[in-house]
Every structure is written in structure tokens, then in C-alpha cells.
Chains A and B, each alone.
Chain A
Amino acid sequence: MIEGLVLGLESSCDETAAAVVLQGRKVLANIISSQVEIHARFGGVVPEVASRKHVEMILPVLDEALKCAGVGLGDLWGVAATQGPGLVGGLLVGFTAAKALAFGLGVPFAAVNHVEGHIYANVLAHPDLTPPFVCLTVSGGHTDLLHVPEFGCYQVLGRTRDDAAGEAFDKVARFVGLGYPGGPAVDRLAQEGDREAIAFPRAMLGDGTFDFSFSGLKTSAVNHVHNLRQRGEEIPLPDFAASFQEAIVDVLVAKTLTAAEAVGVEKVVLSGGVAANSRLRERMMAEGQAMGFQVYYPPLVLCTDNGAMIASAGYFQLRAGRHSPLDANVIPGLRVG
């Protein structure tokens, strides 16, 4: 056994992922099998289709991670898996596999919160990063603004009241025929567009809360496209993408930095799939630094759902003595804080 060697499994949405991480900081292997192409024809993730693919992929991905890390099963010190939030059928595959491994190997098991996992993507990427900090976790499934005074302690400052930011990207992208997933497509097109071409609403900006709402923006974008189509006009896709993206980024950046100021931290952390958005990274960094904050975000490979972030979070859980029992179950609606 190698002290602190943790295998992390993640299967909450449409990636089957396994990673081997040493002492929560050093990634030895990070294998991700994406189902994006399978779900693209349906225009979004189909839970039953995803679950079936997870069962097929879990062992090959796990085996690949061990081989790539150059370690054997007997070297593992602990096993971690995502407990939620996510799609129940998918979650069950990684969670069941991790519990079976922990039982068979006689090592402890850690049930990890997925949103918490995303935060640990930054711990992996930035060895010097320590709390306290304010963290914005944005993806297709969540938009959470958290205060992290210390590892393992999460105070919710705000979260979305309807759609997640990534969900808004996906839905609007699908509506204008950019396919699934929408985020990367919008990001790419936006680089050639005029961000001020279309005046989309900035929901809940300056309302004194740290909550978000993106359904109004989505409706406004859909209406805009409807109107153009009715008049027989072409949709100026780059301008549309740039303006839509700017409306989301404006709110995310402003609320995060206001929150960081209000809480009185020096560090701002960005995580989750939408943390891969180039405009969000650029503006959070520029405006955060202008206000005197240290700004952190993970490299692109750790923004997407992965096993390394789960292994890292799991390591710190196990080290703190928080072992999960073999009769633990997944919690699709699990929240932090």
C-alpha cells in the first residue's frame, strides 16, 4: 500500500472517469471517457442511455487509470466516488464500483460531493492554494457561489434560482442549431462577434443578493431569434453568441467579486465545466486582479468532470477520518453547505 494513494471515480453525468491521485495533490493518471457523441443526436444527456454506457466503460476506464499511473490495486490506500449531485442511474455505477473496490481491498471509502470535487480541481492545479477563498462553481448542473473558510467547510453565499449557467448555454446553443454541448460552440463563435450587438438582460445584477437566475436570459435569447426568423432575417450567430455570453459572464463576474469583497477574502476561485469558458476566465482574472484578488482557475482538463478532483476531495475526507459506510447510497440532489 502507498500512503495517500486514492482512486477516484466519477459518473454523475456523461463522462465515465477514473483517476489515481497521490495525497490529494499529485495526479498520477486521469482517464476520462466522454459520451458527448452518443448524446449529441438526442440534443442533451439521456439518463438511461448514459447509465448503460457507464456500466460498459467503468472497468476499462478504471483499469486504464491504474495502468497509466503504474500502480496496482494493492497499492491503493483509499477509494472515492461521486455521491451527488447528478443523474441517479449514472451515479450508481461509479458509486457501486467504488464500494465494491473498497470492500474487496479492505480500504476506506469516501463518498464525495461533486460540487466540492470541482473545487478540488483547483487544489490539484495550484499546490499553494489554501482557504479562505470565495469559489464560483459553474457547470451544466450547478451555479453555486461558496465561501470556503477552511477545507471541508462550505457556506453557500448564493446559487441559481432556476437554470444553471451551463444549462443556459446548452439550451440556447441547441435552439440556434449549434448542437450539443453548447458552451464550447458559443465560446468559439463569440470570439468573432460584437458583445454589444444585442442588449440581453442581466438578471438579478445589483439586487443585493448573491443568487443567480438565467431562465429570463434564455427566454429573451429565444424570443430574439424568433423575431428574426419571423422577419425572415438571418441570425448573426457570432454577435448573438458574443452578446449572450457577455450577459452571463457579466453577472457571474460581478456577483463573485462583490461576494469576495463582502466576505473579506483575498482569493477567488473558479471551478466547474463553465470555468473552461475563455471569456469568463479572462474577465475574472483581469477584474479580480484589478480589485486586488488572487484569482485561480483549473487547467481545461480539470474543468470537465473528472476522477482526479473526486480523488483529491476524497483524500482530504479520509485523512480527516470521514469514512463512508458500505450501505451508503447516492444522493442525486446533494448540495453543499
Chain B
Amino acid sequence: MRILALDSSTKTGSAALLDGESVVGEYILNVAMTHSERLLPAIERIMADAGWTGEDLGGIAVTLGPGSFTGLRIGMTTAKILAYLWNISLAGVPTLDALARQGELFAGLVCPLLDARRGEVYGGIYREGRTLKGPLNVPVGELLDCLPPGEQVLFLGDGAGKYWPIIQGALGERAVLAPGPNRILRASFVGLLGQEKLIRGEEEDPMTLTPFYLRRSEAEIKWGRMCDQRTSD
């Protein structure tokens, strides 16, 4: 199956074309420019370079979240519209699953971490591609406390670089930082997981699909507290 894969869940933005397992093209741009300005031009560019049109595609894969709220909305809205327009299958890929896949050859635990701001991360713990824990939205220390003892742990994602001193302080020699190219999320891995999902028949409905934010909005958190207070009064 031919797939267009998109990711704009973090500062890195990426688009890729896959034909089965083979990566036909991948575009990654890790700069401080909004996804609104660069996602669609990236898609336009990569499709033109590969000589593909919508008619060549069997599906679209996009990151579901967690990640930047705005980034997720831009990626998902684009994917939904294109899937609807070209009448092709849509696959939603959890951001942390795709990142974990980038470390699947590591013999040990894999811990993808996204910077969630406010001293927190979105993270999970994986072994051989299977989720042991997560996704969680917690301070990085709390996630490290969940790691089973003994094994080495590979860290990926923009949270890995940001919190590296804390991670190393807590785990010492057990902690391994993925090299730069593996640390950022690549749309080709989103495409790989998306393709597997589509083959398993796990298609999303573009009409109703919404991002997996993991974190509620500030207003809802405050509102929730007000309700809790009222019921505990």
C-alpha cells in the first residue's frame, strides 16, 4: 500500500511517502516556523518530487497525540481533509508508539519522552515494541520511578534531550541517549505503524477523529476542581 504520513506533534515537522515498507521519501524540518506555514508546502513538495498524486495513495497516517495541542490539530485537520477528499483510508498513530518504534532494535527498555512544558513530559515505557507503561503526563522524575530495575533504558524524543541531566542523575550508566537522528520523530515511522494498522483493519473515521491530547484544557481542569469542591462540601 502507498501511504502519505504526517507528523506535526512537536517542533519537528515531517512528511513521508511509503510504498509498503520501503520509504520513497521523507522530509524533516526542525526549525521554529509554524506548522501552519510549512506542513502543506512539505506535502506538496514531497509528492511533487516523488511524482505522486492523491490517486496513487491508499492511505494517510497521522500522529494522534500526545504533543503540542496546536500542532496536533494542524496535522490531524490536514490528514482528515485529504483522506476525505481522496477517499482513502486514515490511520491514527499514537505519537509515543511511533517514537518507541524508532528504538525497537535496542536490547532493553525504550522510553520516549515529549516535552509537555511546565516541568512535565508525555512519556511511556516500552519493551520490544510493546507498551509496559503509559502514555503518562507527569514530571520526568515520576516516569523514571516507574522503570523496572536492572535493564538499560534508551531515551528518545525532545524530552530526552531536555531532561538528560536529570535522567542521567537518576539512572547513571543504565541511561542511553538515542543519537540525534533517532531522537526526533520521523514521519516514516508514523507511516510504518499506520500501514500496519490499516492492514489489521484499524481504520479511523475522518468525520469523527479527534486528537488524543492526554491533558485537559486549563479551563476544564479549573472547572473540574470547582465541581469537586462542590461535591465535597
Interface residues of A (CB under 8 A from B): 41-42, 46, 48-49, 51-52, 54-56, 58-60, 63, 73, 88-89, 92-93, 95-97, 99-101, 103-105, 326-330
Contact = CB atoms under 8 A, between A and B. Distances in A.
B77 A49 contact: no
Contacts of B38: 327
B37 interface: yes
Given A55-B73, A96-B74, A327-B38, A101 B219 contact: no
B41 A326 contact: yes
A100 B34 contact: no
A104 B207 CA distance: 17
27 contacts: A42-B219, A48-B217, A52-B69, A52-B73, A52-B210, A52-B211, A52-B217, A55-B211, A56-B208, A56-B210, A58-B80, A59-B206, A63-B207, A73-B85, A92-B70, A93-B73, A96-B81, A97-B80, A99-B40, A100-B78, A103-B40, A103-B43, A326-B41, A327-B38, A328-B37, A329-B36, A330-B36
A59 B36 contact: no
A48 B77 contact: no
B36 A95 contact: yes
Contacts of B80: 58-59, 97
Contacts of B73: 51-52, 54-55, 89, 92-93, 96
Interface in B60-111: 69-70, 73-74, 76-78, 80-82, 84-86
Contact of B220 (A49, A97, A328): A49
A49 B43 contact: no
Contact of A101 (B37, B81, B213): B81
Contacts of B74: 92, 96
B218 interface: yes
Contacts of A326: 40-41, 44
A327 B78 CA distance: 13
A99 B86 CA distance: 15
Contacts of B54: 104
Nearest to A46: B219
Contact of A97 (B39, B70, B81, B223): B81
Majority secondary structure of chain A interface residues (helix, strand, loop or mixed): helix
B89 to A, nearest CB: 15
Interface string B27-39: 0000000101111
A328 B38 CA distance: 9
Contact of B81 (A41, A104, A327): A104
A159 B223 CA distance: 35
Contacts of A63: 84, 207
B85 A97 contact: no
Contacts of A104: 54, 81-82, 85-86
Given A92-B36, A97-B78, A105-B85, 8 more contacts: A42-B223, A49-B217, A52-B73, A52-B217, A56-B208, A59-B207, A96-B77, A97-B81
Nearest to A54: B73
A326 B86 CA distance: 18
A174 to B, nearest CB: 15
Contacts of B36: 92, 95-96, 329-330
B82 to A, nearest CB: 6
Given A41-B223, A52-B213, A100-B77, A60 B218 contact: no
B198 to A, nearest CB: 19
Residue among A58, A99, A105 with max Cβ neighbours from chain B (10 Å)? A99
A52 B212 CA distance: 10
Interface string B171-210: 0000000000000000000000000000000000011101
A106 to B, nearest CB: 9
A219 to B, nearest CB: 26
A127 B36 CA distance: 35
Nearest to B213: A52
3 closest Cβ contacts across the A-B interface?
A48-B217, A100-B81, A46-B219
B84 A59 contact: yes
